[in-house]
């Protein structure tokens, strides 16, 4: 049967450990041993490899579903181009042989799929037949191509929808005008920013304006948009924008910090887009203006997750194992949406050579014509992904997390 | 019997509506009508007054427990000094008479207790015998005197403990050193900052350093503290600090933005303490350094609340009504802790003349000698306040909130 190795990579999500659980459960009776590499491909290269059955068992494995960030830790390491140097690849194959590893599942985002693609290409060209490498997706950015959506996104979207609904109430209780600018993660794709509109699902006002980074951002138009929203309105409004909003020349708004009219700022490294816009909005409208970033919380808030996302993340891990056991080297498991009402998906796979280093943007028909909100099509797409709540197990008043390496260090 | 009027004031908490629920339930069969003033004392002065029985009923009243910010909206308005002008007071008494109001319950923090105190003093000196004014506390800052703790604090503490435990995992997954500075609300008192230590309750590492604003903050000592924590440690650490940390001259660290060694910054209005320290930490240690603020989320995250806090907040509202009905003009309901293990409290009251405009600081014996952590005494005090979880009702994937004025506008 041989052994299977799993590792995690890239930035944290709250669902990446559910995919690890799916990989573990789907493989533990199908292979001799299930190994986990700590610190992704970097740890693998350093033989930082553990027998997962010694770390996971029926008592603790369900805690993976509520543990944020990668339980196996992570890395940000790109493999070298194998046409230039095969050293890393030879080392990886040697380690696979040493540990009798026939299957390697790498859970991660775009860079991780690049790693899967590169190793599988090397295996192919080296005529290695007994090692199968596959990928399982994760990213809160939801920007991988060839999958309807990405594990981790639904929970981040639920956290954002909930948080914006709470902030909107917070900002509207005083009978005086105010403007709160909320910056949401997404340098290239505005999926998470769009999810802020879900805060309206129960009838609340939600964000008054939404700016996704797919559209050119024009400060003059932005100020006019605000003016029209403030007219006749005497409470606070919330405006949501992607960190990656940029002007017609592709320059990020966060890089405007040194522009003359932004002269209150020092250097760009200390300002995000919302913070840069805070001053120009304040000087234009003369009311209370706040800029805030949801920051790391949107990718690590495991205390509120979408049950749909958690369950799908497990299945995406199981599907990756199926691909590996079927010999589909270089594939990444994917989610295909069959229907919105009722929401139905099936699991499939696509080759990482078609996925790595590509970005899936929010399509034009999900952004309003004015470029300052999302369409019903976006809501129809997003809404199913945040449904259901994982029941969180608490201890001492805080959620329990699983530390896989607690007894090892 | 006469009527009772309730209003809410000051900044949002996630428990202030539980106190409103307590007030409503304790009074609805004891008085003729329960009125609510919208926008606090400001709304009262504008006769923005509603019959609460038309807005609240058995179907929706429990949603108050999971609705953040003031359901009756709020204001930040201080009453004038009645020795200089009695106009506002005469107007308030006239409105009370017009609406047959014998009892007024004001839910709020320090400024609101100042309002209760001022009106009750005016009533006393004017020999008005049929109007009783009382207060019910709320503040995430936990800084009101003469009460063991304040409604709203326990839930904010639970949110902070949970969020820091999530951030600590998020920041420690890469095998490279990094420093994340997290700024927590609290200009004068460090109770919320101290609550970050509760993230360790289940064995996690939690914050490596904790700086409360009660202690003088010295940048040199801070950098030495970090150096000793980073020694031999190759992952990310999290450092928590109060927004109000200040130097030995009382100057806020957030005001250091124009200091020569901080010259990357523009003007102080755009920087908090963490952001100011970010640069000096980065230039000293040369690793990845991030500054983040938990911002408004810590006072509005109604999706995760302490059941202990919610239940106590209801009882504090009930107690305020009892005080009012017993004719105890000028009192604020309070919580007295009887025991830590088992945790037991009783409800009492104290005169707002002894509470208004005072601040309760984190005592010395709750801060470690080095001034960079909290003591076990702090943990013993804080831990009971975050216990239990309110079961949140969701609809469409996000928590339901109650909008009292939805059908009125």
For A302-316, the pLDDT digits (tens) are: 999 999 999 999 999
Could B398 and A173 be called an inter-chain contact, meaning their C-beta atoms sit closer than 8 Å?
no
Q: Which of A68, A173, A386 minimises the CB distance to B170?
A: A68
pLDDT higher than threshold 60 for residue A170: yes
Instruction: Tell me what pLDDT residue A260 has.
Output: 42
> Is residue A268 a contact partner of residue B266, using CB atoms and an 8 Å limit?
no
A109: left (phi over 0), alpha (psi -120 to 50) or beta: beta
A310 has a chain B CB within 8 A of its CB: no
Average pLDDT, stretch B106-130?
Answer: 96
Which is it for the CA torsion B298, B303, B308, B310, positive or negative?
positive
Average pLDDT, stretch A319-334?
Answer: 98
> Is residue B267 a contact partner of residue A264, using CB atoms and an 8 Å limit?
yes
| Average pLDDT for chain B | 94
pLDDT higher than threshold 90 for residue A270: no
Average pLDDT, stretch B28-34?
Answer: 97
pLDDT higher than threshold 90 for residue A333: yes
CA distances from A170 to B300, B302, B378 (A): 6, 11, 29
Average pLDDT, stretch B45-65?
Answer: 96
Instruction: Report helix, strand and coil shares of chain B as percent, to nearest 5.
Output: 40, 20, 40
Compute the distance between CA of residue B298 and CA of residue B306 in angstroms, rounded to an integer: 13
Could A175 and B388 be called an inter-chain contact, meaning their C-beta atoms sit closer than 8 Å?
no
Tokens 């250091």: give the residue.
Answer: B256
Q: How confident is the model at residue B260 (pLDDT cuts 50, 70, 90)?
A: very low
Average pLDDT, stretch B153-161?
Answer: 98
Beta partners for A106?
A7, A135
pLDDT higher than threshold 80 for residue A166: yes
**Interacting residues of B66 by C-beta distance below 8 A, sequence separation 6+:** B302, B303, B305, B390, B392, B393, B399, B400, B401
Q: How confident is the model at residue B165 (pLDDT cuts 50, 70, 90)?
A: very high
Compute the distance between CA of residue B187 and CA of residue B243 in angstroms, rounded to an integer: 6
Q: How confident is the model at residue B102 (pLDDT cuts 50, 70, 90)?
A: very high
Instruction: Tell me what pLDDT residue A320 has.
Output: 98
Residue B299 per-residue DSSP state = H
Instruction: Tell me what pLDDT residue A359 has.
Output: 96
Instruction: Tell me what pLDDT residue B268 has.
Output: 38
pLDDT higher than threshold 50 for residue A337: yes
Q: Which of A73, A387, A396 minimises the CB distance to B397?
A: A387
Tokens of A331: 């594939």
Q: Which of B267, B293, B400 minimises the CB distance to A202?
A: B400
Residue A309 annotated in active site = no
Q: How confident is the model at residue A279 (pLDDT cuts 50, 70, 90)?
A: confident
pLDDT higher than threshold 90 for residue B270: no
Could A175 and B76 be called an inter-chain contact, meaning their C-beta atoms sit closer than 8 Å?
no
Radius of gyration of chain B (CA): 23
The percentage of chain A sitting over the pLDDT mark of 90, rounded to a whole number, equals 90
Q: DSSP per residue over A57-74, as a string?
A: -TTTGGGGGG--S-TT--
Could B170 and A300 be called an inter-chain contact, meaning their C-beta atoms sit closer than 8 Å?
yes
pLDDT higher than threshold 60 for residue A249: yes
| Average pLDDT for chain A | 94
- Name the A residues in 29-58 with CB < 8 Å from any B CB: 39, 42-43
Average pLDDT, stretch B175-196?
Answer: 96
Q: Helices B273-285 & B219-230, crossing angle to 10 degrees?
A: 60
Average pLDDT, stretch B94-114?
Answer: 97
Average pLDDT, stretch A322-340?
Answer: 98
Could A303 and B75 be called an inter-chain contact, meaning their C-beta atoms sit closer than 8 Å?
no
B95-125 as b/e: b if 16+ CB within 10 A? bbeebebbbbbbbbbbbbbbbbbbbbbbbee
A-chain residues near B175 (CB < 8 A): 39, 42-43, 73, 75
Average pLDDT, stretch A268-285?
Answer: 82
Q: How confident is the model at residue A268 (pLDDT cuts 50, 70, 90)?
A: very low
B-chain residues near A290 (CB < 8 A): 296
The 10s digit of each residue's pLDDT in A70-106 is 999 999 889 999 999 999 999 999 999 999 999 999 9
- Tell me the residue length of chain B: 409
ipTM: 0.96
Compute the distance between CA of residue B115 and CA of residue B97 in angstroms, rounded to an integer: 19
Instruction: Tell me what pLDDT residue A266 has.
Output: 37
Average pLDDT, stretch B25-39?
Answer: 97
Average pLDDT, stretch A261-273?
Answer: 49
A-chain residues near B264 (CB < 8 A): 266-267, 269-270
Tokens of A53: 């059955």
Could B175 and A43 be called an inter-chain contact, meaning their C-beta atoms sit closer than 8 Å?
yes
Instruction: Tell me what pLDDT residue B259 has.
Output: 52
Q: How confident is the model at residue B265 (pLDDT cuts 50, 70, 90)?
A: very low
Tokens 């981040």: give the residue.
Answer: A156
Instruction: Tell me what pLDDT residue A269 has.
Output: 43
Residue of A nearest to B279 (CA): A270
pLDDT higher than threshold 90 for residue B257: no
Tokens of A9: 């990579």
Q: Which of B76, B270, B302 minimises the CB distance to A275?
A: B270
pLDDT higher than threshold 80 for residue A330: yes
- Name the B residues in 340-399 with CB < 8 Å from any A CB: 383, 386-389, 392, 394-399
Q: How confident is the model at residue B407 (pLDDT cuts 50, 70, 90)?
A: confident
Instruction: Tell me what pLDDT residue A259 has.
Output: 52
Average pLDDT, stretch B399-408?
Answer: 92
Q: How confident is the model at residue A339 (pLDDT cuts 50, 70, 90)?
A: very high
pLDDT higher than threshold 80 for residue B211: yes
pLDDT higher than threshold 70 for residue A267: no
Q: Which helix (H) or strand (E) holds B160?
A: helix B153-171
Report the helix count and the strand count for chain A, using DSSP H and E: 11, 13
Compute the distance between CA of residue A223 and CA of residue A253 in angstroms, rounded to an integer: 14
Q: How confident is the model at residue A255 (pLDDT cuts 50, 70, 90)?
A: confident
Identify the active-site residue in B111, B141, B143, B309.
B141
pLDDT higher than threshold 90 for residue B409: no
pLDDT higher than threshold 70 for residue B264: no
Beta partners for B136?
B107
> Is residue A130 a contact partner of residue A102, using CB atoms and an 8 Å limit?
yes
The 10s digit of each residue's pLDDT in B281-319 is 999 999 999 999 999 999 999 999 999 999 999 999 999
pLDDT higher than threshold 90 for residue A256: no
The Cα angle at residue B401 between residues B68 and A186, in degrees rounded to 5? 75
The 10s digit of each residue's pLDDT in A132-150 is 999 999 999 999 999 999 9
Instruction: Tell me what pLDDT residue B321 has.
Output: 98
Which is it for the CA torsion A293, A296, A302, A305, positive or negative?
positive
pLDDT higher than threshold 80 for residue A262: no
B-chain residues near A10 (CB < 8 A): none
Q: Is A379 exposed, middle or buried (0-12, 13-18, 19+ CB in 10 A)?
A: middle
Q: Nearest to residue B192, comparing CAs of B138, B255, B240, B227? A: B240
Instruction: Tell me what pLDDT residue B234 has.
Output: 84
Average pLDDT, stretch B335-350?
Answer: 97
B266 has a chain A CB within 8 A of its CB: yes
B-chain residues near A271 (CB < 8 A): 270
Instruction: Report helix, strand and coil shares of chain A as percent, to nearest 5.
Output: 40, 20, 40
């Amino acid at each position: 049967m041989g052994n299977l190795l799993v590792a995690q990579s890239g930035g944290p999500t709250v669902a990446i450990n559910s995919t690890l659980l799916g990989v573990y459960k789907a493989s533990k009776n199908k292979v001799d041993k299930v190994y986990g590499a700590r610190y992704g491909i970097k740890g693998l290269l350093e033989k930082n490899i553990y027998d997962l059955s010694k770390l996971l068992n029926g008592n603790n494995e369900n805690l993976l579903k509520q543990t944020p960030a990668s339980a196996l830790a992570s890395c940000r390491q790109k493999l070298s181009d194998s046409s230039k140097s095969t050293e890393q690849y030879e080392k990886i194959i040697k380690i696979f042989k040493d540990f009798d590893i026939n299957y390697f599942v790498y859970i991660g985002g775009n860079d991780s799929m690049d790693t899967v693609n590169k190793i599988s290409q090397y295996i192919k060209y080296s005529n290695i037949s007994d090692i199968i490498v596959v990928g399982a997706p994760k990213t809160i950015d939801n920007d991988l191509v060839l999958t309807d959506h990405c594990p981790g996104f639904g929970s981040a979207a639920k956290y954002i929808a909930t948080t914006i609904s709470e902030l909107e109430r917070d900002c509207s209780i005083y009978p005086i005008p105010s403007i709160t600018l909320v910056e949401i993660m997404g340098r290239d794709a505005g999926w998470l920013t769009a999810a802020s509109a879900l805060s309206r699902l129960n009838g609340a006002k939600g964000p008054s304006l939404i700016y996704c980074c797919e559209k050119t951002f024009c400060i003059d138009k932005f100020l006019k948009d605000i003016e029209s929203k403030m007219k006749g309105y005497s409470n606070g409004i919330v405006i949501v924008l992607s960190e990656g909003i940029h002007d017609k020349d592709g320059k990020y708004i966060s890089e405007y910090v040194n522009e003359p009219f932004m002269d209150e700022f020092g250097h760009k490294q200390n300002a995000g887009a919302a913070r840069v816009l805070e001053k120009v909005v304040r000087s234009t409208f003369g009311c209370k203006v706040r800029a805030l970033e949801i920051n790391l919380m949107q990718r690590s808030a495991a205390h509120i997750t979408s049950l749909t996302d958690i369950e799908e993340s497990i299945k995406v891990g199981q599907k990756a194992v199926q691909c590996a056991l079927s010999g589909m080297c270089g594939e990444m498991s994917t989610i295909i949406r069959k229907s919105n009402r009722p929401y139905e998906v099936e699991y499939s796979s696509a080759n990482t050579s078609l996925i790595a280093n590509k970005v899936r943007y929010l399509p034009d028909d999900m952004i309003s014509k004015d470029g300052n909100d999302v369409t019903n099509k976006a809501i129809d797409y997003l809404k199913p992904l945040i449904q259901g709540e994982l029941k969180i197990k608490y201890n001492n008043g805080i959620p329990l997390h699983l530390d896989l390496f607690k007894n090892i260090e």
